[in-house]
Chain A
Amino acid sequence: MMSTESIRIPVAGMTCAACSSRVQRALHQQPGVEDANVNLMMKTATVRFDPNAVTPEGLVDVIKATGYGAELASPDQSVFEEQEARDRAAAAEFRELKTRAIVSGIIGVLAMAMVFSRPLLLLSTFGVMVWAGRHFYTRAWAAFRHHSADMNTLVAVGTGAAFLYSVIATVAPGFFLSRGVQPDVYYEAVVIIIALILTGNAFEARARKQTASALRALVHLQPKTARVVRQDTEGADVEVDAPIETVEAGETVIVRPGERIPVDGDILSGESAVDESMLTGESLPVAKRPGDAVIGGTINRTGAFRYRATTLGADSVLARIVKLMRDAQGSRAPIQRLADRISGIFVPIVLSIAIATFVVWFVAADTAPAVRAFAVAVAVLIIACPCAMGLAVPTAVMVSTGKGAELGILIKGGEALQRAGDLRTIVLDKTGTVTEGRPTVTDLVLTSTSSHQADDVLRLVASLETLSEHPLADSIVRHARDRSISLATPEAFESVTGRGAVGVVEGSALAVGNAALMADYAIDPAPLAAEAERLATDGKTPMYVAINGALAAVVAVADPIKDTSREAIRRFHALGLEVVMLTGDNRRTAEAVARQAGIDHVVAEVLPDGKVAEIARLQAEGKVVAMVGDGINDAPALAKADVGMAIGTGTDIAVEAGDIVLMRGDLRAAVQAVDLSRRTMRTMKQNLFWAFIYNVIGIPVAAGVLYPAFGLLLSPILASAAMAFSSVSVVTNSLRLRGARIA
């Protein structure tokens, strides 16, 4: 059986969709390569290959043969180091492009001001082409050898032709004069075109750097050192500042107020409030006590504490989020296939149009036909750059996933974004999604004749329930402890299956349970029967309490609806979504919760496979369905839905489940995810529209269709400015998503 390995290789020098598709094609043609995905935005090639047929070094050679740079990443680099290296490379690329653009621009302006003589112009133009624009020609040649063409081809053919024409006009002006044509030269056009395209590339590089700002912010959350308790040479415990990579699982870490928590772990001693907003989007600090989990990268606000390090390195929550984000930012949205298909055939078609333009102008122009035909053909080549088309979708995906991370929403790629933008129905799991997921005491109603105080009843009941293993008992005990009520040890306890519990606490005989239990002890529940019925109708579980043979109270336990759920469901409706709740709970409770939360439809008493069937039924009705659940129990339904949104709170982030991970246990994050996706799709469509319309208008105008009617022609210099502008405008439009106010 053939085994495969996967590798990610950084690729340098790709500037447009045609570049990435060329590298991808070359990799696909290499024997032993199972699959290859080259990403323009992330500048990486992810290759699945058979190590028996081809080595990683061989893959690097294949990429280099296409004219782009490639080198293998160091295998022990962490995601943080890898991202920092990528940032450094991006900064260096921007600096270099800027220098080249400025120097070329200055030479171009001097050339236009006619400071140079023609021979000097020839030399300086050649110098600019070789120094600043060399990569256009080398990459165009590499593409040509592979029967491929990209934006470099257009620039190289356009400027190369203009340069050759000018050289002939310089060294043999008589050739032109003898044919009645002035020996004009286009040196300044060549230099200015190169300067403008480099300027556009530099702006684009800077904007691309900005689109990764969210990812960079996440990387910078990782502290470099941790204060760890270790033993000195004499075996005594000492605090040492240790590099983060030396910290081992199980070691005790100390964090003081105001410090960043270095690694994931569980608190051993001390209490504090921790600001987790950078990872979860939750604005309020979260209280932490011994036993609670803390996440590396979050900020300790108030108290000092010691904790035991748990997950480290690549397994840490932050590293997993960074990796997830990085993979997502570089992923492709299906809508991009259109742009890819067009840019693949675009350049040869433009070359054909440029040749046809030359022929038409040569035949039709009255004066100096060759010169005019030439200038118009060069303008066509220069204006038609597929860059904007290549950037339209990836920049939007990148900015949007970054914005999502700021809001505590991890979107796993362009495909998830696109599907979430098309949603019509949202299916919610009840427990833990709409409700808190932890039953708690919601009501305690005393009989009108009761001689007890509410807290006394709660103390007695909770004391009795300390010996019970029923989940409802646990919620009563927790509720009493949360209210700082001290509990007694029961003198006697008996659990009555299906009915409740009886026992003795501080000399009082207690019976806590349903009406059947009361009947067993000949206690009439009638005084509180109406109240119990009302509580049950509200989806709560009522329990009668009898003390020393007399009915004293009814206690209700329920899984309360989260404060934020009602508002979130209202916002779902405002976005035009149908809201459905799926639950394994009984119909009465489910309907009560749905009524209170404002949910349209309820499907109750379903098992996990029933949830899958229900989602399939909705999909069969032609609806695009999202499932929001807490990751583990709802995994099949999350996978079946068009978009699975997994709620992962704190350290329990179900990053593997679902297409979108909501870092807060707050349903409003799901609303934000839908809103963000819709805005992103809108931005992608705008970008694609402008990229297409620019070429649809630009190419005919450059070819001179407006000349007969209006005498309007585009010079090659104006064409290059328009081309640079189109790329920058697409990136800028995507960057607007960063400032968008999400619902």
Chain B
Amino acid sequence: MTTLSGTDWLVILAGVAAIAWVNWYFFVAGRAPAKRTEHKD
């Protein structure tokens, strides 16, 4: 098994961070709770 270089580790870390960000941005940040509105009848 070949050992991973420093660049490889950098790419892996960047990749994991990118995946985390994509999922946070589209699934979490986009679903922020809607503002509460008051209804007056």
Contacts and interface: CB of A to CB of B under 8 A. Distances in A.
A353 to B, nearest CB: 9
A351 B18 CA distance: 9
B19 to A, nearest CB: 5
Nearest to A360: B15
Those 9 A-B pairs whose CB atoms lie nearest each other, nearest first: A147-B30, A359-B15, A348-B26, A352-B19, A363-B8, A355-B18, A362-B11, A351-B22, A355-B19
Contacts of A149: 26
A147 B25 contact: yes
B8 A362 contact: yes
A176 to B, nearest CB: 15
A29 interface: yes
A477 B19 CA distance: 84
A356 B26 contact: no
Contacts of A147: 25-26, 29-31
A146 B26 CA distance: 9
A148 interface: yes
A345 B23 CA distance: 10
A31 interface: yes
Query: Size band of the A side of the interface?
Result: 10 to 19
Contacts of B8: 362-363
A709 interface: no
Given A147-B25, A348-B25, 18 more contacts: A29-B34, A146-B30, A147-B26, A147-B29, A148-B26, A148-B30, A149-B26, A347-B26, A348-B23, A348-B26, A348-B27, A351-B22, A355-B22, A359-B11, A359-B12, A359-B15, A363-B4, A363-B12
Nearest to B15: A359
A375 to B, nearest CB: 16
Nearest to A349: B23
A34 to B, nearest CB: 12
B15 A355 contact: yes
Interface of B: 4, 8, 11-12, 15-16, 18-19, 22-23, 25-27, 29-31, 34, 37, 41
Nearest to A179: B7
B4 to A, nearest CB: 6
A161 to B, nearest CB: 12
A163 interface: no
Indicate the member of B25, B26, B29, B34 with the most A CB atoms within 10 Å. B26
Nearest to B26: A348
B21 to A, nearest CB: 10
A358 interface: yes
Nearest to A347: B26
Contacts of B31: 147
B37 A31 contact: yes
A1 interface: yes
Interface string A143-163: 000111100000000000000
Contacts of B41: 1-2
Contact of B22 (A2, A29, A148, A348): A348
A451 to B, nearest CB: 84
Contacts of A29: 34
A358 B18 CA distance: 11
A373 to B, nearest CB: 8
Contacts of B23: 348, 352
B32 to A, nearest CB: 9
B33 to A, nearest CB: 12
Nearest to B29: A147
14 contacts: A1-B41, A31-B37, A147-B26, A148-B26, A149-B26, A348-B27, A355-B19, A355-B22, A358-B15, A359-B11, A363-B4, A363-B8, A363-B11, A363-B12
A381 to B, nearest CB: 12
Interface in A129-147: 146-147
A148 B19 CA distance: 15
Interface in A635-687: none
A347 B25 CA distance: 12
Interface string A2-17: 1000000000000000
A348 B11 CA distance: 20
Nearest to A146: B30
